[in-house]
Amino acid sequence: MVKFSKQFEGQLIPEWKEAFVDYWQLKKDLKNVHYFINNTNNTPNNTSLPKYIFSSIRNYSLFGHQHREPGPIQVHRKLASSSFNGDMYETELLEQFSDTDATKEFFACLDQQLNKVNKFYRTKEKEFMDRGDSLKKQMDILLMLKTTFKEQQSKAGSSHGSKEDQSISCTFSNEEDSVRSRAQQEEMLDTTSTDDFEKNEAPFSDFPRVEELAKSMQIKREDGKLRTLSGRVINCQGKNLRINIPLTTPSRTFSAISYLLREDFLNQSSRKCGPEGANNIHLNKTNLHHAEKMIKGGFIELYKGLGYLKVYRNLNLLAFIKILKKFDKVTEKQILPIYIKVVESSYFNSSDKVMKLADEVEELFIKNFAEDNRRKAMKYLRPSQRKESHAVTFFIGLFTGTFLALLAGYAIMAHVTGLYRPHQNSVYMETVYPVLSMFSLVFLHFFLYGCNTLAWRKTRINYSFIFEQTPTKELKYRDIFLICTMAMSAVVGVMFLHLTLLTKGYSYARVQDIPGLLLLGFLLILVCPFNIIYRSSRYRFLCVIRNIILSPLYKVVMLDFFMADQLCSQVPMLRNLEYVACYYITGSYKTQDYGYCMRTKHYRDLAYAVSFLPYYWRAMQCARRWFDEGQTSHLVNLGKYVSAMLAAGAKVAYEKDGSVGWLCVLVVMSSAATMYQLYWDFVKDWGLLQMNSKNPWLRNELMLQRKAIYYLSMVHIRPLSLSSLRSLWCGPLACNWHPKS
């Protein structure tokens, strides 16, 4: 039977771990109680009888009437200094315990945990209630705008008979000073909870973006007009109403930048379009659809958060019951019935606001987003987890065996045909091996990502929340291993077929297109529009690559700069891809002129550009994050990638000039870039050299218990991350083949 501590640890919400009952500390205190009781029982104690007599006399009054205390303990309820913190509880011992000090420590810890749970629950409940109220207001506004939009469309259609997409035209004016109104809006957008537990963010990915939309639409209706919470009155007259949507695409980024430029540089009078400085805002069908989609996601995430809060309540209640049962068993006292009444009547267990809000969210979602179909709504609100099939495990083993067999056969045939002998079959080694190495690097990296997901799952790291992935559509580690083994089996199988045809006498001109067809086949599968071979994951991957390439224009999320960091480690793969593309696009595979691309000046310049690209993308991501968040640490991180690009530029200049001056510049720039990256990776990323940390030289919060794993990972992984700089030293053409994950 699994111990409750294991069940408790397996079910608690990782982001709220510090806010849960510290069950393990309570068990330690209970062990101290048990230790003192055992020592007391094993040691002769002549004072036990007088204590018993004194306790018996105390329970009777002088007049012989029995006067019993309420029980062994009494829990006092005190009003906190702040109404936000709620009530505070403190336990008083009414009976003499043989281990008074240890028992006092136990109940002090128990009271502390109860107060902590109540405080955190009250904080999160208020947060969710505020979000629920905001979303409901935005839902009302959206419904009103949709109704107005339909009315305008029907009027336009009846009067003009045009099928053109219409938009609502509105003007809004300030009843208060514009500067004050703008300050109020910024204050609304920047408002966050000041509670200590707020650093443990809720595991819901879409709340920040939905809150931006919601708070940008703080509008209510009065006397046929739309009134914002900041005092703006909106009169709908025909067309033009804009909903402020976060900057997540290039078009919205450009429109926002142009708006800021107009606001900063144009004359205030030129923007007046009505009395008292009224302004036109626009809303078309596309904006309405996007706003509806975001509000729908907000309701889904809110419902998920309320479910997590229910789990938080139930787990903590069960933890209190379990630890009190253990205490009663150790001390042979009846503490559980007394203290559990206090726990059940405390705020976190007695408040029903979460239940009511969850029911209300269900009703609103069913009515507005599911066409009164409850089953359809529950597919969004309570999505069922995709069950892991045993067939996946079977095919992993099948393709692993196939890959190993084909790899062994390929190695034997290559050895027999003399491919590994010096100066033999240069055409094969220069044209086929870049394809093989390219796929090997990609899928080895992907395999290591599968190992990461397995480790994250074992350590209960909520990587789905961190990467903002949908739990029902994300790739599990078994799926990743299946993709890797299946892909590598196909790659080695094609290479084995290619080598077999060569050994049977086929010329290179007849079989040299096979590696190119292999690459083309993988690209076609990647962009295949049909719902096969993990379409949602392929689409997400393409979107991330698009976001990376257009880094300054997209809002940077965790998955984007995580993937861009991986691309910094895949510079050799990008060079191999460039060479293979050049080899087949220029038609060199027909003449077996594998040196054509290397002799071309444009190719060599492009090779250096490929070396720059991953660092450029990361630098642009850091710049965009600094622009969005305003934190100078992003600029410092940007400097790390700029230093790598400067080192690469110095290498290019030295190869073209060859002078001693450029050699000195190259040495200085490369050394500075290496030290810069080492400092950032060790100190910032790994948290090394933390002098005041409770973990020697590491940060305070560690997910793994064994600290040696962190040191081994630093020593082993960080040099690999600097291999891109090594490739800058030896040049982009001489470093195509090296084992890099």
Residue 289 CA, chain-centre distance (Å), reads 26
Task: Report the C-alpha gap between 302 and 281 in whole angstroms.
Answer: 29
* Rounded Cα distance, 618 and 622, in Å: 6
pLDDT, greater one: 193 or 423: 423
Q: How many whole angstroms separate alpha carbon 523 and alpha carbon 589?
A: 19
pLDDT at 398 (0 to 100): 95
Domain assignment present for residue 275? The answer is no
Neighbours of 364 (CB within 10 A): 17
351 and 403 inside one domain: no
- The whole-number pLDDT of residue 52 equals 38
C-alpha 351/C-alpha 357 separation (Å) is: 12
The count of structural domains within the chain is 2
Highest mean pLDDT among 48-52, 111-115, 587-591: 111-115
Host H or E run for residue 246:
none
Domain residue limits at 90: 1-40+71-153+285-384
Neighbours of 176 (CB within 10 A): 11
Q: Give me the torsion for CA of 484, 489, 494, 498, rounded to 10°.
A: 120
| pLDDT tens for each residue of 585-602 | 888 887 777 778 878 777
How far is residue 189's CA from residue 340's CA, in Å, rounded to a whole number?
41
- 252-261, 372-381, 551-560: which has the minimum mean pLDDT? 252-261
Cα separation, 485 vs 491, in Å, equals 10
The predicted model gives 442-454 an average pLDDT of: 92
DSSP codes of every residue in 558-608:
HHHHHHHHHHHTTHHHHHHHHHHHHHHHTTHHHHT-TTHHHH-HHHHHHHH
Write out the two tokens for 199.
């650093």
What's the chain's average pLDDT? 76
d(CA 80, CA 68): 30
547-556 b/e (C-beta count within 10 Å ≥ 16 → b) = bbeebebbbb
The predicted structure's pLDDT at residue 717: 57
Chain segment 204-226, per-residue pLDDT in tens: 444 434 344 434 444 444 444 44
Q: Is the pLDDT confidence value at 51 over 50? A: no
Residue-wise pLDDT tens digits, 609-645: 888 889 899 999 999 999 888 888 889 999 988 988 8
Write out pLDDT tens, residues 672-693. Answer: 888 888 888 888 878 787 777 7
Q: Lowest mean pLDDT of 323-337, 395-409, 498-512, name the range.
A: 498-512
Average pLDDT over residues 10-28: 87
> Measuring CA to CA, which residue among 675, 622, 621, 623 is closest to residue 644?
675
pLDDT at 150 (0 to 100): 82
Cα dist from 673 to 129, 718, 724, 726, whole Å? 49, 14, 11, 11
- Residue 316 and residue 11: Cα distance in Å, rounded? 11
Residue-level pLDDT at 209: 40
- Residues 329 and 454 occupy one common structural domain: no
Distance CA 677, CA 249 (A): 30
Same domain, 358 and 398: no
**Domain finish residue from 360, 384, 408:** 384
Q: pLDDT band at residue 511, thresholds of 50, 70 and 90?
A: confident
Task: Say what the pLDDT of residue 403 is.
Answer: 95
Find all residues with CB under 8 Å of 272, minimum gap 6, and list them.
278, 279
User: Which tens digit of pLDDT belongs to each residue from 366-423?
Assistant: 999 988 889 899 888 888 776 777 899 999 999 999 999 999 999 998 888 877 776 6
Residues in contact with 509: Cβ distance below 8 Å, sequence separation at least 6, in sequence order: 590, 592
Whether the per-residue pLDDT at 137 is higher than 80: the answer is yes
Q: Distance between CA atoms of 436 and 598, rounded to whole angstroms?
A: 19
Residue pointed to by tokens 């809004």: 172
What is the end-to-end Cα distance of the chain in Å, rounded? 41
Q: Return the beta strands (E) in 85-231 as ranges.
A: 87-93, 167-174, 219-222, 225-228
Lowest mean pLDDT among 122-126, 460-464, 475-479: 460-464
218 within some domain: no
**pLDDT, greater one: 511 or 20:** 20
Give pLDDT, residue 586. Answer: 84
Is residue 255 in some structural domain? no
**What amino acid is encoded at 528 in this protein?**
C
For residue 508, give the nearest of 438, 594, 577 by alpha carbon. 594
Distance CA 699, CA 692 (A): 9
Non-local CB neighbours of 118 within 8 Å, separated by 6+ positions? 86, 87, 346, 347, 348
pLDDT at 103 over 70: yes
Model confidence at 70, pLDDT cuts 50, 70, 90, reads low
The residue type of 311 is V
Q: Which helix (H) or strand (E) holds 482?
A: helix 477-503
**509 and 473 assigned to the same domain:** yes
> What's the confidence (pLDDT) of residue 35?
82
d(Cα 379, Cα 365) in Å, to the nearest integer? Answer: 11
Chain length of the chain: 741
**Residues 518-521: contacts with CB under 8 Å, at least 24 apart:** 518/435, 518/439, 518/490, 518/491, 518/494, 519/435, 519/438, 519/580, 519/584
Number of helices (H), then strands (E), belonging to the chain: the values are: 29, 7
User: 184 in a domain, yes or no?
Assistant: no
440: CB partners within 8 A, 6+ apart: 488, 491
Q: What are the backbone dihedrals phi and psi of residue 158, each rounded to the nearest 5 degrees, phi first? A: -75, -30
Owner of token pair 């597919």 = 379
The predicted model gives 263-288 an average pLDDT of 53
Of 300, 324, 301, 313, the C-alpha closest to 11 is: 313
Provide DSSP, 603-662: HHHHHHHHHHHHHHHHHHHHHHHHHHH--HHHHHHHHHHHHHHHHHHHHHHHHHH--HHH
The confidence score (pLDDT) of residue 617 equals 92
Domain boundary among 614, 638, 669: 614
Q: Are residues 482 and 528 in the same domain?
A: yes
- Same domain, yes or no: 377 and 400: no
> What is the Cα–Cα distance from 347 to 221, expressed in whole angstroms?
36
- Strand residue runs (E) in 285-394: none
Q: Can you give the pLDDT at residue 324?
A: 92
Identity of the amino acid at 205: S
User: Are residues 498 and 380 part of one domain?
Assistant: no
Q: How confident is the model over 87-109, as a mean pLDDT? A: 82
Q: Are residues 356 and 490 in the same domain?
A: no
Is the pLDDT at 39 greater than 80? The verdict is no
Last residue of a domain, one of 614, 643, 674: 614
Indicate the range of 183-197, 373-387, 488-502 predicted with least confidence: 183-197
pTM for the model? 0.69
Task: Report which of residues 220 and 737 the model is more confident about.
Answer: 220
CA 201/CA 14 separation, integer angstroms: 10
Most confident region among 33-42, 44-53, 560-569 by mean pLDDT: 560-569
pLDDT band at 42 (very low <50, low <70, confident <90, very high): low
Q: Distance between CA atoms of 683 and 597, rounded to whole angstroms? A: 42
Same domain, yes or no: 370 and 459: no
| Residues 315 and 445 placed together within one structural domain of the fold | no
- For residue 258, being part of any structural domain is answered with no
- Please, what sign has the CA dihedral across residues 155, 159, 163, 165? negative
pLDDT of residue 576: 87
In a domain, 487, yes or no: yes
Lowest mean pLDDT among 111-115, 309-313, 707-711: 707-711
CB hemisphere CA count around 57 (13 angstroms): 7
Task: Report how far residue 724's alpha carbon sits from residue 720's, in angstroms, rounded to the nearest whole number.
Answer: 8
481, pLDDT greater than 90 = yes
Overall average pLDDT of the 166-186 stretch? 42
Phi, psi of 194 (to 5 degrees): -100, 10
447 and 337 co-located in one domain: no
- Position of tokens 């968040």? 629
Query: How many Cβ atoms from other residues are within 10 Å of residue 619's Cβ?
Result: 23
Three-state secondary structure call for residue 232 = strand
Same domain flag for 378 and 392: no
| CB contact at 8 A, 496 and 503 | no
Mean pLDDT of 115-137: 93
* 636: its two tokens: 């410092």
The 8-class DSSP code of residue 199 comes to: G
687 assigned to some structural domain: no
Flag whether 515 is in a domain: yes
CA quadruple 204, 210, 215, 221: dihedral positive or negative?
negative
The more confident residue out of 271 and 347 is: 347
95 Cβ partners below 8 Å, 6+ apart? 55, 69, 72, 73, 333
- Print burial letters for 54-83: b (CB count within 10 Å at least 16), e (below 16): eeeeeeeeeeeeeeeeeebbebeeeeeeee
Categorize the per-residue pLDDT at 544 as very low, low, confident or very high, splitting at 50, 70 and 90.
very high
